[in-house]
Amino acid sequence: MGFFIAKEDDIKKGKTTDVYFVRTEKILREKNVHNLSVAEFTVSGLPNGYRWALFGGLEEAVELLKGKNIDLYAFPEGSLFKPRDINGVLVPVMYIVGDYVEFAIYETPTLGFLCHTSGIMTKSARVRLAAGDSVVLSFGIRRMHPALAPMIDRAAYIGGCDGVSSLIGAETINQPAKGTMPHALMITMGEDEAWKAYDELMPPEVPRIALIDTFGDEKYEAIKAAKIFRKLQSVRLDTPGSRRGNFAAIIREVRWELDVRGYKDVGIFVSGGLNEKTIPELKEVGANGFGVGTSISNAPTIDFAMDIVEIDGKPSAKKGKFGGRKDTYRCKECFSFVNVRHGENPPERCPVCGGELEPMHRKILDKGKLVYELPGVEDMRNYVLSQLEHLKKVEENPI
């Protein structure tokens, strides 16, 4: 039977599109309707009260659209954006210029690339802000279809996670896979023997992080692990909900008991049901490492839509959208956005704070040919982190 996944060739042939786009293309070709269309990618709002999001999925969209007779303009991948500009006009993070029949059947997969990747990237960034300088690892691939593991881990890393757990995800970002140990090891060997074997057999570069809550009380198991390992880096708490009670209180107690016995250098790594709302309290009481799973891998998507806004140079958009091709600028200081009609001059300074405005669109494809150097993963991650640092300076509560 095989796996229920679309192959790359299926996506490029348009087999993952909605059927009505295939019918639309057939009608337009049969009736010889060809015109120069501008189609924008925008979001009308963000999930769960988010005030900003990160733009992701560009590289895969480029892989899909290159070779088509179109021009593609987009924000750099990883750009922080807001749904609307200072005048309430939708912010186009990407747009296509070309004959609509050239790209009609690719709307569905292109949106899929953008929506899903942007959602994971955005959630990872929110977790990064909540965790501050603590280590954050992406543990969420087990909750999603395994075919998506490279995309999930890549987006999580670019968005701010320090590492990823899957082998293929780590290959994608050219980093070693990171993780601790599973409960299965303790169950099959017994806790003490499992710890000793891990310490003995794992190479020196693998951090000594002991999972301590398989059978016993977290406080006493932490003390025991610190004695068994030759040089324990951290203990990991993955306490199930049925035993958790007040998780912050458990962490506080473990921290105290380690400290009074001279193990102040042993950190506390926690996992299980974490997100940007639960992390701050746990960090405050002593946790300094976080394994974040489902909340990142199953992050709410950023609901982009693709809409034609211009036909043969004339504004033409459905109701609820804003007609005409636009140039978009972002303030370097306050991250406000300003749209202007394509070709018009923007304001000299940001109307909100007086800061410098920078153009956000880059020409990515010229008649299907790549004309923009797509940055590497590390460059995109550094770009994201620099924006998050600036966001903390200009917003009292950036999350």
Per-residue pLDDT tens over the stretch 260-299: 999 999 999 999 999 999 999 999 999 999 999 999 999 9
Percent of the chain at pLDDT > 70 equals 100
Region at 199 (left for phi over 0; alpha for psi -120 to 50; beta for the rest): alpha
CA dist 35 and 30 (Å) reads 14
Question: CB-hemisphere CA count at 13 Å for 270?
Answer: 29
Give the H or E element holding residue 60. Answer: helix 58-65
Q: Is the pLDDT of residue 106 over 90?
A: yes
| Of 52, 98, 36, 122, residue with least CA distance to 364 | 98
The pLDDT of residue 244: 74
The three state secondary structure string of 325-344 is: CEEEEEECCCCCEEEEECCC
In the block, residue with structure tokens 């405005």: 357
pLDDT at 243: 75
Q: How confident is the model at residue 250 (pLDDT cuts 50, 70, 90)?
A: very high
Cα angle vertex 74, ends 5, 78, to 5°? 70
Instruction: Please give the pLDDT value at position 89.
Output: 98
**Do the beta carbons of residue 367 and residue 70 sit within 8 Å?**
yes
- Residue 332: CB partners within 8 Å, gap ≥ 6? 355, 356, 357, 358
Using CA of residue 226, residue 230, residue 235, residue 236, what is the dihedral sign? negative
**For tokens 């794992």, what's the residue?**
202
Q: Residue 5's pLDDT is what?
A: 95
**For residue 141, what pLDDT is reported?**
96
pLDDT of 62 > 90? The answer is yes
End-to-end CA distance of the chain: 44
Question: What is the reported pLDDT for 135?
Answer: 97
The pLDDT of residue 239 is above 90 = no
Instruction: Delineate the domains of the chain, giving CATH numbers in brackets.
Output: 8-118+300-394 (3.20.140.10), 123-297 (3.20.20.70)
Q: Report how far residue 222's alpha carbon sits from residue 212's, in angstroms, rounded to the nearest whole number.
A: 6
- Give the C-alpha separation, 381 to 159, whole Å: 6
Cβ 213 vs Cβ 225: under 8 Å: no
Say whether 290 sits in a helix, a strand or coil.
strand
Quick count: other Cβ atoms within 10 Å of Cβ 30? Answer: 8
Pairing of strands 53-54, 80-81: antiparallel
Q: Provide the mean pLDDT of the chain.
A: 96
> Which residues, including other chains, have CB under 8 Å from residue 103's CB and lie 6 or more apart?
39, 65, 68, 70, 96, 110
Let me know how long the chain is: 399
Torsion-angle region of 67 (φ positive above 0: left; ψ -120 to 50: alpha; else: beta): left
Q: How far apart are CA 170 and CA 164, in angstroms?
A: 6
- DSSP readout, 348-389? SS-TTT---EEE--EEEEETTEE-S-PPPHHHHHHHHHHHHH
pLDDT given for residue 170 in this prediction: 97
- d(CA 109, CA 324) in angstroms, rounded, equals 24
Q: How many CB atoms are located within 10 Å of the residue 76 CB?
A: 18
Q: Cα–Cα distance between 207 and 214 in angstroms, integer?
A: 19
Q: What is the mean pLDDT of residues 127-137?
A: 98
pTM to 2 decimals? Answer: 0.96
pLDDT of residue 155: 98
* Crossing angle of helices 149-159 and 377-394, rounded to 10°: 40
- Residue 58 DSSP SS3: helix
Contact status, residue 302 vs residue 53, Cβ threshold 8 Å: yes
102-110 mean pLDDT: 98
Cα three-residue angle 146-186-194, rounded to 5 degrees: 110
Instruction: Encode pLDDT of 369-378 as tens digits.
Output: 999 999 999 9
- 211/291 Cα distance (integer angstroms): 12
How far, rounded to the nearest angstrom, does the alpha carbon of residue 17 sit from its chain's CA centroid? 24
As a dihedral over the C-alpha atoms of residue 277, residue 281, residue 286, residue 288, rounded to 10 degrees, the angle is: 20
Dump pLDDT digits (tens) for 320-332: 999 999 999 999 9
Q: CA 98 to CA 38: how far, in whole Å?
A: 7
CB atoms within 10 A of CB 45: 11
pLDDT at position 301, please? Answer: 98
